[in-house]
Amino acid sequence: MTLRHRLLVAEVCEALLELHLSEETPATKADILKEMEDRGTKPEVRRVFQSKRPTMAEFNTAFRFTETFGLVRPERTSSGKYVYSLEGRLKEVMNACRGDFDDVITDFAKKPWK
């Protein structure tokens, strides 16, 4: 996984956290992508991606990573559509540090399962 993909994984998680804080979770993949686009207008996010917007392929790769490693929790609605929310422990850690994603993952790995 490239550094760019790791940054995208962080952005997927950050976007979901923002949606959670605004009480718009669980969210669809489209909601998450829209939140990422909205966040992309912020200078600090643009700098991270060096002004090159992520492609859909990069987004999908990053999203699959978040699912595979249990960073997001998928739920199937009664209509058959999938919605996502952050895994509880990760949400706690991200709220606590709101910093470098490597620190987030390290803290996440240290926290005990409840």
* Contact between residue 57 and residue 4 where contact means Cβ atoms under 8 Å apart: no
Alpha-carbon distance of 62 to 46, in angstroms, equals 17
Mean pLDDT of 85-110: 64
pLDDT winner (highest mean) among 4-13, 29-38, 91-100 = 29-38
Mean pLDDT of 80-107: 68
With a CB cutoff of 8 Å and minimum separation 6, the contacts of 107 are 93, 96, 97
Q: Tell me what pLDDT residue 69 has.
A: 77
Tell me: pLDDT of 102 over 60.
no
Per-residue model confidence as pLDDT tens digits over 20-50:
777 766 888 888 888 887 876 666 666 666 6
* CB hemisphere CA count around 65 (13 angstroms): 18
Q: Tell me what pLDDT residue 74 has.
A: 84
Tell me: pLDDT of 65 over 70.
yes
Rounded to two decimals, the pTM is 0.62
Return the CATH number at 13.
Answer: 1.10.10.10
Task: For residue 82, give its domain range.
Answer: 3-110
Domain count, the chain: 1
Considering only residues 110 and 86, tell me which one the structure prediction assigns the higher pLDDT: 86
